[in-house]
Structure 1
């Protein structure tokens, strides 16, 4: 895999991670803090992101970017008012 395909794949998973956590962040903000629903809204997206990273062939060096996308998605999702 060349550099441009690595960057495109990482950008795609970054976007997927952000959107997935945007959705769960919206519901996390509606849940009572430290409840089971709140806990699941934070942790349920992790296996999907892990599977996407492993399936795409990206190594561990990209994990900090995906963590950033997850945190940003949770923050912005919590601020959504739909």
Structure 2
């Protein structure tokens, strides 16, 4: 795996956690968990992709980490502005939205 694939996967992993973080009180236990739970997954990606821990890889992976968190927060606020049903779980919200759309058709 190359560095940009690891960065893309890091971004995608962090979107649901940013979504979760947007719906909890700042600096609460859940907020801290939403930030720190993806870290072991990113470390495992780095190890299994053989990109290593070279200094030049850190800015790219860290930027994709925080951009994924930011995208999750923005997606939550977008859904909330449309007055869609929102909870702390992106997967369940998308499932419920899809389920309600299929029932209407």
What is the TM-score with the length of structure 2 in the denominator?
0.66
Q: 5+ unaligned residues in a row in structure 1: which ranges?
A: 1-7
Considering fraction of residues, name the structure with more helix.
1
Q: 5+ unaligned residues in a row in structure 2: which ranges?
A: 80-105
- Which of the numbers 28, 33, 58 marks the counterpart of 2:26? 33
Rg larger in structure: 2
Moved over 4 A (4+): none
Coordinate RMSD, CA, aligned = 1.2
Q: With a CA cutoff of 8 Å and minimum separation of 6, indicate the structure with the bigger relative contact order.
A: 1
What is the TM-score with the length of structure 1 in the denominator?
0.84
